[in-house]
């Protein structure tokens, strides 16, 4: 391959906001959601700029570029929370353009999400795994130009340390308390605080958050801290939580009703076959469109099945999985191969021919061979389910 010097079409500088790394281009637009966290973090640590390039396949990618920092500094960008009613209205109703194209979410739901954010509601994104809850929550955070913090509560073993802090001991000074990033976050006026996977958090975390999320209380109790007993939540702080809620999540602890009551629920819709197809086509323009159409059909068939009274699978194939699968197709794997590694492991094979896995395999095979194989479906059944 010949080496040509390429010029990036967009250049960004990465700044730290709360515990997140935000990317700003020369025009002051936020590009955070377009660049991976690792890439942004490195650029910030290494104090270099990132440029956007287009590869031979037409996909864009970001890498280090030399040059002066863009002149726009985020310090000079005001924290933009509209207060005037007319302004709020126009912000909400003009906000669909702030939704990243790669996020499939209908206009009403997106506006409802933005409105809840602007109005300082505690937001709870619900829906089955892999339907875009975290993605939508992060997109909202990016759309609102405010200091933001991210906490994955499903991944923390010690909610007290994460949400409150740690008590340390030193020979000289005795015990002392070091507060958590969360304590800093709630004291940051107008911060947007993402509480990802709240449904999977330890019940201790829910208890700690009860007073924090209560509109009438809005404080954090520091049991362990000396002296100071409570920390007030600063004005304008917005919480955005996510929860896997769906009948297939029996392992998820059922969240306390009192905690749920503190949230405005925004339900993420599972994509329709058309939306799924549109998303995959947008993300993978170079993959055969018929195959992508089949992936959307397969996912939809499993979703329809999982909702039927006589469901043979507990849950449908998620959008996360179809995106992964399409990525494998893009990298040259066949549909059969891609399904084998990305879909089948999610379905139980206990019960042999009656297993969930066998059922899903048969749907997929329907789209892989000439249709002459003797399986669970005939053409009409497949058509029926597709049209449902
Ligand atoms: N509605 C959607 N629009 C676009 N991409 C989606 C959507 N839902 C899922 N995805 C894809 O699946 C991945 C996982 O989504 P995520 O937001 O982490 O799901 P959740 O938090 O609901 O489990 C995303 O990175 C994206 O590639
Ligand atoms: Mg998530």
Given strand 123-127, what is the order of strands in its sheet? 148-152, 192-196, 238-244, 123-127, 264-267
Query: Does residue 347 carry a pLDDT above 60?
Result: yes
What is the pLDDT, as a whole number, of residue 248? 43
What is the pLDDT, as a whole number, of residue 88? 86
Q: Which residue out of 129, 319, 342 has the highest number of ligand 1 atoms within 8 Å of its CB and is therefore the one to mutate?
A: 319
pLDDT of 13-70, one tens digit each?
998 877 788 898 877 778 888 898 899 999 999 999 999 998 877 788 999 988 765 5
- Please give the model's pTM, rounded to 2 decimal places: 0.77
By DSSP bridging, strand 60-65 and strand 49-54 are antiparallel
Atom of ligand 1 nearest to the CA of 279: 4
Atom of ligand 1 nearest to the CA of 128: 22
Check if 246 has its Cβ closer than 6 Å to any atom of ligand 1. Answer: no
Q: Which ligand is in closest contact with the Cα of 196?
A: 2
Check if 167 has its Cβ closer than 6 Å to any atom of ligand 1. Answer: no
How far is the centre of ligand 2, averaged over its atoms, from the C-alpha of 126 (Å)?
10
Query: Does residue 142 carry a pLDDT above 80?
Result: yes
What is the pLDDT, as a whole number, of residue 250? 42
How far is the centre of ligand 1, averaged over its atoms, from the C-alpha of 239 (Å)?
20
What is the pLDDT, as a whole number, of residue 197? 93
Share the mean pLDDT of the chain: 86
Predicted confidence band of residue 249 (pLDDT cuts 50, 70, 90): very low
Q: Which of 51-65, 223-237, 352-366 has the lowest mean pLDDT?
A: 223-237
Closest to 358 measured CA to CA, from 374, 341, 376, 371: 376
Check if 279 has its Cβ closer than 6 Å to any atom of ligand 1. Answer: yes
Query: Does residue 3 carry a pLDDT above 70?
Result: no
What is the pLDDT, as a whole number, of residue 364? 95
Atom of ligand 1 nearest to the CA of 268: 1
What is the pLDDT, as a whole number, of residue 168? 83
Residues at Cβ < 5 Å from ligand 2 ion: 134
Predicted confidence band of residue 388 (pLDDT cuts 50, 70, 90): very low
Closest to 273 measured CA to CA, from 335, 319, 328, 336: 319
Predicted confidence band of residue 192 (pLDDT cuts 50, 70, 90): very high
pLDDT of 88-108, one tens digit each?
898 899 899 999 999 999 999
How far is the centre of ligand 1, averaged over its atoms, from the C-alpha of 220 (Å)?
31
Check if 242 has its Cβ closer than 6 Å to any atom of ligand 1. Answer: yes
Atom of ligand 1 nearest to the CA of 197: 21
Closest to 43 measured CA to CA, from 75, 82, 76, 70: 70
What is the pLDDT, as a whole number, of residue 77? 42
Q: Which of 276-290, 305-319, 365-379 has the lowest mean pLDDT?
A: 365-379
> ∠68-72-78 over CA atoms, to 5°?
155
Query: Does residue 182 carry a pLDDT above 90?
Result: yes
Q: Please answer whether residues 151 and 196 qualify as being in contact, where contact means their C-beta atoms are separated by less than 8 angstroms.
A: yes
Check if 194 has its Cβ closer than 6 Å to any atom of ligand 1. Answer: no
Measured by CA distance, the residue closest to atom 20 of ligand 1 is 130
Q: Please answer whether residues 241 and 201 qualify as being in contact, where contact means their C-beta atoms are separated by less than 8 angstroms.
A: no
Check if 198 has its Cβ closer than 6 Å to any atom of ligand 1. Answer: no
Query: Does residue 227 carry a pLDDT above 60?
Result: no
How far is the centre of ligand 1, averaged over its atoms, from the C-alpha of 320 (Å)?
5
Predicted confidence band of residue 330 (pLDDT cuts 50, 70, 90): very high
Check if 126 has its Cβ closer than 6 Å to any atom of ligand 1. Answer: no
Alpha helices in 125-202 (DSSP H): 133-143, 159-163, 181-186
Query: Does residue 74 carry a pLDDT above 60?
Result: no
Q: Please answer whether residues 357 and 344 qualify as being in contact, where contact means their C-beta atoms are separated by less than 8 angstroms.
A: yes
Check if 132 has its Cβ closer than 6 Å to any atom of ligand 1. Answer: yes
């Amino acid at each position: 391959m010949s080496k040509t010097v390429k010029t990036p079409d967009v250049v960004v500088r990465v700044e730290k906001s709360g515990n997140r790394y935000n990317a700003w281009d020369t025009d002051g637009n936020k590009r955070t959601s377009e660049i991976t966290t690792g890439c942004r973090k490195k650029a910030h640590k290494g104090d270099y700029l990132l440029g956007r390039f287009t590869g031979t396949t037409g996909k864009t990618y970001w890498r280090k570029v030399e040059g002066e920092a863009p002149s726009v500094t985020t310090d000079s960008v005001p924290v933009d929370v509209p207060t005037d009613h007319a302004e709020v209205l126009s912000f909400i109703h003009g906000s669909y353009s702030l939704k990243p194209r790669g996020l499939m979410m209908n206009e009403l739901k997106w506006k409802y999400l933005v409105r809840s954010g602007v109005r300082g509601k505690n937001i709870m994104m619900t829906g089955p795994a892999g339907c875009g809850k975290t993605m939508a929550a992060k997109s909202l955070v990016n759309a609102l130009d405010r200091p933001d913090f991210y906490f994955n509560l499903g991944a923390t073993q010690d909610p007290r340390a994460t949400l409150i802090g740690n008590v340390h001991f030193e020979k000289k000074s005795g015990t002392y308390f070091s507060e958590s990033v969360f304590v800093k976050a709630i004291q940051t006026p107008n911060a947007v605080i993402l509480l990802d996977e709240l449904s999977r958090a330890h019940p201790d975390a829910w208890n700690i958050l009860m007073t924090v999320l209560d509109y009438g209380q809005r404080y954090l109790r520091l049991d362990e801290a000396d002296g100071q007993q409570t920390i007030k939540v600063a004005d304008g702080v917005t919480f955005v939580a996510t929860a896997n809620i769906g009948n297939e999540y029996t392992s998820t602890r059922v969240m306390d009703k009192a905690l749920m009551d503190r949230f405005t629920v925004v339900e993420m819709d599972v994509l329709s076959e058309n939306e799924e197809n549109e998303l995959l086509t947008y993300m993978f323009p170079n993959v055969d469109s018929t195959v992508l159409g089949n992936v959307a059909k397969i996912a939809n068939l499993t979703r329809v099945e999982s909702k039927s009274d006589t469901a043979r699978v507990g849950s449908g194939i998620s959008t996360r999985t179809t995106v992964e699968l399409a990525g494998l197709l893009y990298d040259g794997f066949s549909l059969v191969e891609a399904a084998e590694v990305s879909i089948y492991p999610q379905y139980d094979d206990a019960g042999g021919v009656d297993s969930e896995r066998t059922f899903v395999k048969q749907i997929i095979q329907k789209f892989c061979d000439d249709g002459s194989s003797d399986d669970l479906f005939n053409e009409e059944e497949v058509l029926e389910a597709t049209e449902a």
